[in-house]
Chain A
Amino acid sequence: DTGVSQDPRHKITKRGQNVTFRCDPISEHNRLYWYRQTLGQGPEFLTYFQNEAQLEKSRLLSDRFSAERPKGSFSTLEIQRTEQGDSAMYLCASSPSGSWSTDTQYFGPGTRLTVL
């Protein structure tokens, strides 16, 4: 069990550029979650997958955001046409099979995005 990993750890980009983040969950976990954490705030839920199916998306996930989890393994979160308001820490978490309401979620170290 190597834990949840995220890549890159830091990303600096210019406004208007596209960025993509990757998350590798704990191997036997079939649920994967994305959260966004801005400075001074707690994490806010963005979306989650059960295996390859994206089951829920928050209103925070505008049409510039897209997430995928091909083959139910790693996941990617892409932000198109980045804006300065997208600057945040993007956290990934995974949990074993069961209910998202009861599972303990295990978090990765996050990807810090800075949009200039």
Chain B
Amino acid sequence: AQTVTQSQPEMSVQEAETVTLSCTYDTSENNYYLFWYKQPPSRQMILVIRQEAYKQQNATENRFSVNFQKAAKSFSLKISDSQLGDTAMYFCAFTPNTPLVFGKGTRLSVIA
């Protein structure tokens, strides 16, 4: 079965601090893409960052970076210099042999 596990249902971080959200997944596929999506309160889901499984180099997008460990099937998201606007649900997802399989999400609260 293709599954995504986000073990932290809720997290909080002080403004300007760094936080890491964890994600593990299970698949027998060798080639896939991994994504982190952000869903702010009452707003639509937007892409934060994506990673190609065959690339060893970790993806970065400004304050957002990932730690991708393919052998461990781990794909964590690090947010640096957290801002109040980062408050949202964060979903880890990947595309094994079907369009996007999502985890249950981590609710991140950034505290001033």
Whether the pair A43, B102 counts as a contact (CB closer than 8 A) is yes
Question: In the assembled complex, how far is the CB of residue B37 from the closest CB belonging to chain A, in whole angstroms?
Answer: 8
- From known contacts A43-B91, A91-B45, A110-B44, infer whether A105 and B100 are also in contact, taking CB-CB under 8 Å: yes
Question: In the assembled complex, how far is the CB of residue A45 from the closest CB belonging to chain B, in whole angstroms?
Answer: 5
Chain B contact-residue range equals 20 to 34
Whether the pair A40, B104 counts as a contact (CB closer than 8 A) is yes
Interface string of B64-108 (1 = CB under 8 A from A): 000000000000000000000000000101010111111111000
Residue of A41, A43, A100, A108 touching B95 (CB-CB under 8 A):
A100
- A89, B73: Cα distance in complex, Å: 29
Q: Does B11 contact A (CB under 8 A)?
A: no
Q: Which of B20-46 contact A (CB under 8 A)?
A: 31-33, 35, 37, 43-46
Q: Does A102 contact B (CB under 8 A)?
A: yes
Residues of B within 8 A of A107 (CB): 37, 44-46
Q: Does A2 contact B (CB under 8 A)?
A: no
Q: Does B4 contact A (CB under 8 A)?
A: yes
Name the CB-closest residue of A to B50. A104
Name the CB-closest residue of A to B4. A42
Residues of A within 8 A of B4 (CB): 42
Q: Does A74 contact B (CB under 8 A)?
A: no
Whether the pair A42, B44 counts as a contact (CB closer than 8 A) is no
Q: Which of A70-116 contact B (CB under 8 A)?
A: 91, 100-102, 104-110
Residue of B43, B46, B52, B105 touching A42 (CB-CB under 8 A):
B105
15 example contacts (A-B, Cβ-Cβ < 8 A) are as follows A3-B44, A33-B99, A41-B104, A42-B103, A43-B91, A44-B102, A48-B99, A56-B98, A101-B32, A101-B95, A105-B47, A105-B100, A107-B37, A107-B44, A108-B44
Q: Residues on B close to A: CB < 8 A?
A: 4, 31-33, 35, 37, 43-47, 50, 52, 91, 93, 95, 97-105
Known: A42-B104, A100-B95, A109-B43. 10 other contacts (CB 8 A): A33-B100, A43-B91, A43-B100, A44-B102, A48-B99, A104-B35, A104-B47, A107-B44, A107-B46, A109-B44
